Amino acid sequence: MASFRINSPIKPYSCSKRIDTSNRVKHESTLFGKSFPSRNDLPENPQLTISKVATRPPGIAAPSKQESENNRKHVAWTSVKQERWQGELHVQGEIPLWLNGTYLRNGPGLWHIGDYNFRHLFDGYATIVGLHFEKGGLVMGHRQIESEAYKASKKNKRLCYREFSEVPKTDSFLAYVGDLAKLFSGASLTDNANTGVVRLGDGRVVCLTETIKGSIVIDPKTLDTLGKFEYTDNLGGLIHSAHPIVTDTEFLSLIPDLINPGYLVVRMEPGSNERKVMGRVSCRGGPSPGWVHSFPVTEHYVVVPEMPLRYCAQNLLKAEPTPLFKFEWHPQSKAFMHVMCKASGKIVASVEVPVYITFHFINAYEEKDEEGRVIAIIADCCEHNADTTILQKLTLQNLCAFSGQDVLPDAMIPMDGSPYGSLEAALDPNEHGKGMDMCSINPSFLGKKYRYAYACGAQRPCNFPNTITKIDLVDKKAKNWFQEGSIPSEPFFVARPGATEEDDGVVISMISEKNGDGYALLLDGTTFEEIARAKFPYGLPYGLHGCWVPKT
């Protein structure tokens, strides 16, 4: 975990004013649309209830012999067993009665088409999983998101769109040229929305990936795919940040400009599909913009990262993946952090920092002097020591082949400095096992000074984060949940209604086990003790990011 500190370049009165931080697919089944009895009303030994159990999706054959061998390695890296499932789970422990709503988690869940196995964690077709909590009970369901890429693969029994590391095979040179033409128009890029899921201020739930066309609306009650989220503006672009900033009052995102290297910062109002430009950041180095998987905001500013891991048009055009896939490493182009005023759209600071690689920013906040003037911005991220091998280590071959050798790159917490910045650990990296990612915080502290972050950490040796970690940025300590052979997904914090303490709530995660099983896990946000778990009918693949949909 790294902290970037942006000091003197910030002008206290840069902002002119302050901003208040404010074709449907039908199925017979309903998932979370009915009331479920309280825990006390359930039978003493309730069994899993399965409704609408699907067979293997059409066009998806049984795993190959090699994949079957990998299945015995860990269920986290295997394809989901069926296209859909739903049922009530038996809970061990006590789910707080105040926890009423649905936790949605998105992620790649299907990594093969017929006998062809995908190469990378990020290639898998999206699986949305829902955990519905009500009156102490828990109902789980999952569905495949019906993107055009997924439906085409089922119909044709082959890859039809360009995924993160996969390119459809062409029969001739002319066909390859035609594919390139589709690439420039964006037609051949995937819409496989397998990265995140967000609830917009108007209640719509959208699954996202880094391609703009991969924005898909789902029904949070049934998990059914409702259709594309179509942007009604004329901003164009093929890619955007996979992690927008979403609140009840706005939607903020970054659109990289691959032609005139830079980034558009855009805002969208609740109920609207129109993005409006807040401002533009021009790159200070490199032949193209750096990868922007995520970015942070404060109360008055948007922080735009510029990494030396930069988009590469040449690599995008190649039929076979390069070591860095769609990117190139340009350390000579340096790394920067840009700060844009939300009100004016003007750049108020642009500082050089040590080269870094991060997937995820955790949070950012403003530091003020005694007179209330902003004197610095702190931006925290999960930084991987500028180690580009992190992308290769996320291939399925590497994830499935762990032999006890410790190959997880260290991650720490840096960024303190002047106009040139420096990196320093916010706490001893041994507290979280020198490896940390997939963070969440209490959403009430978005853009504000905060104390706690919940993440996936590491208990060595490992080749992938294998603990759930609570980081205390004041005491500079961490608490870790660990179970041998288990791989937890992103821990997601849900605050108790009416809570006054930052960590008063629960942490939800989905656990994949080495023996093929899996379960939902709830930890107390304060004590970090386990309070409940509920076993799934079968283990689920590793997932990525989630959101909370409160009961209405």
Rounded to whole angstroms, what are the CA distances from 355 to 180, 292, 307, 324, 433? 32, 14, 7, 16, 22
243 carries a ligand binding annotation: yes
Is-contact 417 424, C-beta < 8 A? Answer: no
Q: Please enumerate in sequence order all residues whose Cβ is within 8 A of that of 295, keeping only pairs 6 or more positions apart, or say none.
A: 241, 243, 245, 254, 302, 303, 304, 305, 361
Q: What is the DSSP string of 413-441?
A: ---B-STT-B--BSS-GGGGTT--EEEE-
Between the CA atoms of 48, 52, 57 and 62, what dihedral angle is there, to the nearest 10 degrees?
30
How far apart, in whole angstroms, are the C-alpha atoms of residue 467 and residue 404?
16
How far apart, in whole angstroms, are the C-alpha atoms of residue 159 and residue 472?
45
132 carries a ligand binding annotation: no
Q: Specify the amino acid at residue 31.
A: L
Q: What is the DSSP string of 57-97?
A: PTT-PPPPHHHHHHHTT-GGGS--SSSEEEEE-PEEE---T
120 carries a ligand binding annotation: no
Is-contact 489 543, C-beta < 8 A? Answer: yes
Pick out the residues of the known binding site. 243, 293, 360, 545
Pick out the residues of the known binding site for Fe cation. 243, 293, 360, 545
